[in-house]
Amino acid sequence: MAAAAATAGGGDVTADPRGFGIYIHWPFCKAKCPYCDFNSHVRERIAEDDWREAYLSELAHFAAMVPERMVTSIFFGGGTPSLMNPATAATVIDAIARHWRIANDIEVTLEANPTSVEAGKLRDFRAAGINRVSLGIQALDDRDLKFLGRQHSAGEALAALELAAGIFARFSFDLIYARPGQTPETWRRELDRALAFAADHLSLYQLTIEPGTAFEQSHARGDFRLPPEEIQAELYEMTGARLEGAGLLPYEISNYARPGSESRHNLTYWRYGDYVGIGPGAHGRLTLAGEQPGGRKIATRQHRAPERWLEMVAAGGHATRQFDEVDADARIAEMVMMGLRLAEGIPLDRFQAESGRPFAASIDPVRYERLAKGGFLAISEDRLLATAAGRQRLDAVLGELLG
């Protein structure tokens, strides 16, 4: 039934060209990676039947709030959702298909780790309705995999990629670069090895030291050093050039795809579309009926602690900790922060649709002109976009543009 639900569809007058996504957060991992600041936890036992019922309860809660939408993507993230039973994924997909209309070409993604046990479940996940998998490879070097706290070897990673290629028409994998001791030459060789296994999408992230992680402490102690900034910049530029030469275009700061193979779910985020967030700590953005242009935009966030989330859902049908209206200024800021990550930029008419104000009244013209003269922002035809130089320095550009 789940596989059928993932391909059933129909028209809907409320369909949004930016898409409408459902995010399901599975908060559990086998081990906590030292660089990770996501809401992930290690537990010896997981009462999966209880979790399945809780997901269904939260889905029903949000479906009553935003009915008659067309779902264009479902994303099982985490944590490590490939640790769940494929039957749980099938049940969730079926429930989504009962609550909302399903696009004919819906994208249903599962994040997975390439250990042999989880990779062996990929066929079952495909039968459950998953049609795209994103593998957390992170490195193709055993020494660096150990440094990153990963539970697999490079050999297991490559075997999982081969298996995924034989099961899924669409799959992606992640790599982390700018690792300690990495040089442009060693990264070039690793990229070439990765491209031999890549299909239509790659996510390539620079290693950053996030607050509250184990790496924050060890880096502060001087246990390791990241490459100098000029080397990091060279690695970033080389990454884009090498992948573009292989036909994978940089459609977002850290994501590369063949045209038409971009992550539809993530595009919904970056284009400032609506999405439901289910599970511990999950965020959502929902547009409700209202007098302001585009309706009322609501920011939602679920309780973060897994056990408390489960208790709250059992008691009240959901565990929403935040349900706040996003005002016009905040809508503009959020849309800009997300949209300038994309090579396509932000359509100028979205400013009017989100805030009731045209672009010229939404962005300080002095700040924009300063960034445009510096070669970091541009207006091309009908959209605002960050140039390649601007996307490389986006945090600084946003700080200057938004104040």
As a whole-number percent, the residues of the chain with pLDDT over 70 amount to 95
What is the domain-level CATH number for residue 345? Answer: 1.10.10.920
Amino acid 310 reads: L
What is the domain-level CATH number for residue 219? Answer: 3.20.20.70
Mean pLDDT, all residues of the chain:
92
- Give residue-wise pLDDT tens across range 59-83: 999 999 999 999 999 999 999 999 9
pTM: 0.94
Structure tokens at 112: 């997975």
Mean pLDDT of 97-110: 97
Task: Name the residue among 264, 276, 263, 269 with its Cα closest to residue 95.
Answer: 276
Beta-carbon contacts of 4 under 8 Å, excluding residues fewer than 6 positions away, are none
**What radius of gyration, in Å, describes the C-alpha atoms of the chain?**
21
- Within-domain flag for 283: no
Domain shared by 238 and 134, yes or no: yes
* Domain finish residue from 231, 248, 267: 267
Domain shared by 204 and 339, yes or no: no
- Within-domain flag for 297: no
Mean pLDDT of 387-396: 94
Residue 69 DSSP one-character state: P
- Within-domain flag for 275: no
pLDDT at 4 over 80: no
Domain shared by 253 and 335, yes or no: no
Domain shared by 221 and 333, yes or no: no
- Within-domain flag for 366: yes
Domain shared by 243 and 376, yes or no: no
* Domain finish residue from 222, 247, 267: 267
Range of the structural domain that residue 105 is part of = 2-267
6 pLDDT band, cuts 50/70/90, is: very low
> Are 286 and 353 spatial neighbours (Cβ–Cβ below 8 Å)?
no
> Domains in the chain: how many in total?
2
> Are 312 and 56 spatial neighbours (Cβ–Cβ below 8 Å)?
no
Domain shared by 130 and 222, yes or no: yes
Q: How far is CA 217 from CA 33, 138, 179, 180, 228, in A?
A: 13, 21, 16, 15, 19
The pLDDT of residue 403: 85
Task: Name the residue among 119, 141, 263, 145 with its Cα closest to residue 199.
Answer: 263
The pLDDT of residue 1: 41
